Every structure is written in C-alpha cells, then in structure tokens.
Amino acid sequence: MTDVSVKDLGDDLAVPDPVQPKSRLRSVFARDRKAQVGLFIMLFFTLTAILAPLIAPYDPNEMTLDMMTNPSGTHWLGTDDLGRDLLSRIIWGTQISLFVGVSTVALALVGGVILGVVAGYYGGWIDNIIMRYIDLQWAFPNFIIAVYLVAVFGTGLLNVIVAISLAFLDDFARIARSMVLTLKEEQFVDAARVQGFSDARIMFRHILPNALAPLIVQATVSVSYAILGEASLSFLGLGVNPNTPTWGLILADGRSFISQAWWLGVYPGLAIMLVVLSINFVGDGLRDALDVRETGS
Amino acid sequence: MASYILRRLIGSLLVMLAVATLVFFMIRLVPGDPIAAMLADSGGPEAREALIRKLGLDKPVLVQFWKWFIAMLQGDLGNSIYGNNQPVTTILIEALPRTMSLAFLSFIIALVIAIPAGIISATRKNTATDTAVSLFAFLGLSMPDFWLAILLIIVFAANLQWLPAIGYVPLAEGFWPWLSHLILPSIAIGTGFSAIIARMIRSSMLEVMQADYMRTAASKGLTMRVQMLRHAFPNALIPVVTVIGIAFALLISGAVVVENVFAIKGLGRVLIQGIQNRDYPVVQGAVLVVSAFFVLSNLAVDLLYAVIDPRIRYS
C-alpha cells in the first residue's frame, strides 16, 4: 500500500492525500464490536495455521484402530472412519484454507487491477477488448467458472488457486476500471502528465492509491468467497488431492458416516463458518470505515 | 421500451454465442490425451483411430467447431461418451426440471425468510430484534451450503426421520413426495440467499423511510402498518431486485453443490459426474445450460426492473 506522506510530495507536487485508511480504521475498529470479534477470530485461526505442527495433538494422517470414537479427553473432537484424529485434521486444514483464501485473492487482485486500470486509463480499443472479455466472464457465476477450469486443467492445490483467482478477476477489474474512469479526469492526473511522468507511473503511483478503498473491501470479502469456494471444490472431489486434510475434503469423507458419527459432519463445517464469519465481520467494518457502498456481489 | 427489450435480447444472445465458443475451445485445451482417457486402455491403435473418426477429431478444429455449432443450434449437443451413450440433450432435459424445482423452491424459501426479516429489522432499527436478524444474516452468509445440508440431514433425516435424506421424485408422482424431497436441499440453498436479500431490504427500507413521501404519508395520519407495507416496502424493493439478479449466481452455484449432497440428478450433479467421468460432451452441455439459465435470469431481472420502476425510461 503506497502511503503518500509529506516527504514524497517533493517530486509529486500535485498528488493529493489518498484516503487515510489507517487513522479511520483505528477509530472504527475501536468502536465496532463486531469487527473486533472478527479480528480476534481471524487472529486465532491464523495462529492455528502457523502453529499447526506444534499444537496438533496427533499426526493428521495417522490411522489407528480407534475408529469413529466419540469426542473425548483423548480425542477432543473424536476420530474418523480410519481412526484419524479429527481435531488434528481440522488444525492442519486451517493452513490450506487460509493459504488458498489469501493467495487466490492476491492473484486476482493483481491481475484484475492491472486489467481494469489499463482498460480505464487508455480507453478506446484496449478498453473494448478487455471489457468484452470481462462481460463474457460475467455471464458465468464465479463458482461455475472455477468448476469448469478445474475440470479442464485438473485438480490439485495450484490449479484450484489459479481457477478461483481467474474466476474473481472480473470483479476486481470492474471496480478498478470504474475508479480510474472517475479519477483520471482529476487535476492531479493532468498535473502528473504535464510533469512528463510515464503512463505506468501515473496509473500505478498516482491513480491507484486513490482507488484503494473499494478494492480493499472487495478483497476482504473475496477471501471469504475463496475459502468457501475451495471448500466446495474439495467437497465435490475437485479440489486439492485426496489425503490432504482440508475442511471440504474432511466433510466429504465424513459424509457417509454422519448418521453414526455426527461430529464428522459438524466440526469441519463449524471451522469453515467461523473463519468466513470473521472475515465478513471485518469486511463489514472496513466497508463502514472506508465508506464504500455495498454492491451485493 | 420495445427497442430496449430487443437490444437486451440481442445482447444476451451474443453473450450466449460467445459463451458457447469459449466453452468449445476451452475443452480442447485439456492437457493430456482425452482419447486415451476415454478408451481407458481397453483398445489398440485401431480402436483409437475409430473413436477419433467417430468423434470427428481428425478434421480441422474450425470444421469441428462449425459442425458442433450447427448441431448445437438444432438442439444436438452430441452424445455422452460414458455408459450407454445417451444424447447429452436428453440427459440435460431430464435434469433441468430438478434444478428448476430446486431453484424455485429455494427462491420462495429465501423470500419468505428475507422479506419479514428485512422489514422488521428496518422498522426496529438498533433494537435486539435488529441485532438478532443481522446476526442471522451474517451466519447465513458465512455457512457453506453443503455444510448446512449435512446438518439438516443429521437432524431431520437421520435423527427425527421426518424427511428423506436423498433422491428426487417428479411432481407427477404426487405433490408431497416431490416437496418432501426438496425441502431440505432448498433450505440449504435458500438460507444464504435469504441473508443477502434481508440485508438489502433492511438498508433499502432505511433509505426509503427518509424520503419526503414517507413524511407525507405519516402526516396524512396513515397507520405505521400502511406506511410501511404500502409506501415504504414497494419502493424499497427496487434496488433489491438488482441484487436478486446477482444472487442468482449463488442459487445456481448452491444447486451444483447441494444436488451432490442429496443425490438429486439435476444439472449440478450431471456436471460434476461428467467431470468425474471425463465425459466432455456432457460437461460442455451442462456448462452451456447453466450459463444460459444465468444469462436469461439476469435478463429477466433487468426487464422486471423496468416494469416495477416506472421512473426508469429506456430509449
């Protein structure tokens, strides 16, 4: 995030202060109970993911003869049909979920922003080509795009990440483009042009920092969609490879046994819901803080 | 208005043609050798040659595309390469009413929950009721639909045994058998959808309640009930309708996953099974129909928007 401060203004005289997200954020998070809870849960799961090797009580793939045992002192969340410890599997699953969520959105953000900024800044035939593609992608629900891409290119962690991020590309491109369209008429852009800065510099150093607020909100919400998307793909057998403990896959594996072992159907989903809920709480707080109108997408 | 409708119709048609083209060429990017996958080492080079000729894969890609395209326009999407080689169109026609029933019922359930929830939380802003509705909406948004489906099965099918856990019965075999098989999956899909709509109705109602005509309505001495239901709600619905269009995507994506939980052989299950069997004609057909469904429902929403808001004029 480029934060333009006074010392930079020496050579970019005309650059106005972009939204000062930090100070506004701090005041909103101080008041918004929901966002605080969200942040706390996010922190909890992030730590869980990082510390998984240390805190997981068992090897997530170690099969034992204690099959489908009830939650108890030895296995807090019970075991699955192969005698694997459910808690350990869920703890390791946190890594995959968060990794997919964050890396997917990072890719989609970078790709979408470049497309959108270029389209909005140059206009003309470049805009036309990019926007026709974006419109085409708009004709599919995001999840269907991801399913189709995985169907074509195959399953596996990397493919899932690429598929979901491609599916999100149009959302970011649209937002970036519309922000650029309004901002490029501003005087500070003319001023930058007069100073002879390159197009790339004007686009990414001058315009983009002023368009960050809606992109930040969209990115936050998209992380939750990405996590849900990965879980759904894995649940359908189109996600990461079998044997990798991910929340979607744990649920899919446990599905056949839920009438005897309810915990296999309950806890992995609870983990997904808590993470997604916390991101939505934080996203909502950010939306209020940065004053971005809800688009509903 | 007529020219606007015509323009939107042509636009949607062009998008569908582009989608069909994209779907056709994407599937040719499949890495590896689909022919080998289809034969599954059951045939020698002759069988391979025969299959390639049968599928027309020995012709140039553009010729293949043209043939496929013309056939598609006539409703022929090729044959499944799996099992007893049913025509893809037949498979999809069988699946479509299941997904439609599911989508329709989910939609109804979503509205039944969302409309009262949205209105009540707007009229009782910042009360405990409002907070409860808001929390419910957040939970609905955050819960994976397939997980909700599993929870519903655990409670209502496995434990209480009130409703069947899997399968689908056509409407022709009776209303209750049909409905009973669809209730749980529809709740699983509709809950997330209802959360989005409830939030939209709430914020839209709050905006409308500030309008001048609402002050007029109040000063005319209308009861709160009439003010809200006759004046505020219909106006609050206008922005909500656009969101419903976007949320159709959720409904379709939800159906894809939830059909697989309840073993309902709708479009979603056909699509996923097609992928698992590497049955590319079926995958192609299912993706086409799903996106057609999506494009058409968005078109319907846009047109509906023009009807319910007479202030919008289309030239």
Confidence of residue A15 (pLDDT cuts 50, 70, 90): very low
The nearest alpha carbon in chain A to B299 belongs to A139
Phi, psi of B49 (to 5 degrees): -60, -45
Residues in chain A: 297
Is the pLDDT score of A155 beyond 60?
yes
Q: Which residues of A touch B284 (CB under 8 A)?
A: none
Which tokens is B170 given? 């056509």
C-beta separation of B182 from B169 below 8 A: no
Round the CA-based radius of gyration of chain B to a whole number and report it.
Answer: 24
Binary contact (A231, B256; C-beta < 8 A) = no
Check CB contact of B249 with chain A, cutoff 8 Å: yes
Please tell me which residue, B144 or A241, carries the higher pLDDT value: B144
Provide the residue type at A196 as one letter. G
Q: Can you give the pLDDT at residue B31?
A: 59
Which tokens hold the place of A23? Answer: 């100070």
Q: Which two tokens stand for residue A283?
A: 């996203």
pLDDT of residue A4: 40
Return d(Cα B142, Cα A97) in angstroms, integer. Answer: 14
A176: buried, middle or exposed (CB in 10 Å: 19+, 13-18, 0-12)?
Answer: buried
Cβ contact B272–A238 (<8 Å): yes
Q: How many CA atoms lie within 13 A of A75 on its CB side?
A: 25
Q: What is the mean pLDDT of residues A47-65?
A: 86
User: Which pLDDT score, from 0 to 100, does residue B240 have?
Assistant: 79
CA distance A156 to chain B (A): 14
Mean pLDDT score of chain A? 84
Q: Rounded to two decimals, what is the model's pTM?
A: 0.86
Please, what sign has the CA dihedral across residues B201, B237, B185, A229?
A: negative
In sequence order, the 6+-apart residues with CB closer than 8 A to the CB of B107 are B190, B193, B251
Mutation target for A interface from B29, B99, B146: give the one with most A CBs within 10 A: B146
Average pLDDT over every residue of A121-149 = 88
Quote the tokens at residue A188: 């500070």
- pLDDT at position A279: 94
End-to-end CA distance of chain A: 24
Residues 173-202 of B with CB under 8 A from A: 196, 199-200
Does the complex come out with an ipTM higher than 0.95? no
Identify the pLDDT of residue B39. Answer: 62
Identity of the amino acid at B138:
F
Query: How far apart, in whole angstroms, are the C-alpha atoms of residue B66 and residue B97?
Result: 30
Residue A221, phi-psi category: left (phi > 0), alpha (psi -120 to 50), beta (remainder): alpha
C-alpha span between A175 and A177 (Å, rounded): 5
Which positions ≥6 away from B77 have C-beta within 8 Å?
A: B71, B87, B88, B89, B92, B281, B284, B285, B288
Q: What is the DSSP string of A13-46?
A: TTPPPPP-HHHHHHHHHHH-HHHHHHHHHHHHHH
pLDDT more than 90, % of chain A:
39
Which chain A residue is nearest to residue B29, measuring alpha carbons?
A152
Three-state SS at B87: strand
Residue ranges of chain B with pLDDT lower than 50? 315
Where is B123: in which H helix or E strand? Answer: helix B88-123
Q: Which of the pair, A158 or B53, is modelled with greater confidence? A: A158
- Residue type (1 letter), A137: Q
Yes or no: say if B197 and B191 are a contact pair by the CB < 8 Å rule: no
Q: Which of residues 15-34 of B touch A (CB under 8 A)?
A: 15-16, 18-19, 22-23, 26-27, 29-31
Asked if residue A297 has pLDDT above 50, the reply is no
Distance CA A255, CA A235 (A): 10
Shortest Cα distance, chain B CAs vs residue A141, angstroms: 5
Name the DSSP class of B155.
Answer: I
Joined together, the tokens standing for residue A207 give 């315009």
pLDDT digits (tens, 9 = 90+) for A188-240: 888 888 888 888 888 888 888 888 888 998 999 899 999 999 999 999 989 88
For A71-115, the pLDDT digits (tens) are 887 878 888 888 788 898 999 999 999 999 999 999 999 999 999
Going by pLDDT thresholds of 50, 70 and 90, the confidence category of residue A296 is very low
